[in-house]
Amino acid sequence: MSTRSPQILALLTLAIALGAAAVPVLSHAADSDSAFAKKHPRREQVNERLANQNKRINKEVAEGDLTRAQAAKLHREDRKIGREERLMASQNGGHITKPEQRVLNQQENAVSRQIGK
């Protein structure tokens, strides 16, 4: 056994201890952020509207009231709103503010009016 073995063993032990101590903290933070983000009422409302609009667009295409090109444009607009919602949430600890929700709902209203034409 070399003279460095006790030092290496001590460093490895310290590294393992520090790593083990950090795991519960990191996993708890990730769980609480993802749980909060998924269950936040304002995010849920916005995302439920996007899902509902997606169904309405598909129904209108099936009924022949929208062309595939019109539907593709509306789907793109909805995806843009969804990306904006995720960006807003990422900047606010996993949720969106009431003013942000209002902006997103106004954008969804504009798309919704286009579906019903």
Q: What is the pLDDT of residues 66-107, one digit of tens each?
A: 999 999 999 999 999 999 999 999 998 999 999 999 999 999
Instruction: Tell the burial category of 30 from Cβ atoms under 10 Å away from its Cβ (0-12, 13-18, 19+).
Output: exposed
State the residue range of the domain holding 20: 1-38
pLDDT in tens, 4-23: 667 766 665 655 765 554 44
- Domain co-membership, 34 together with 55: no
- Domain co-membership, 44 together with 87: yes
Can you tell me the distance from the alpha carbon of 36 to that of 67, in angstroms, rounded to the nearest whole number? 38
Q: What does the block give as tokens for 29? A: 């933070």
- Domain co-membership, 53 together with 88: yes
Which residue carries 């209002």 as its tokens? 102
- Domain co-membership, 6 together with 52: no
**DSSP type of residue 1:** -
pLDDT in tens, 22-48: 444 444 444 444 544 557 899 999 999
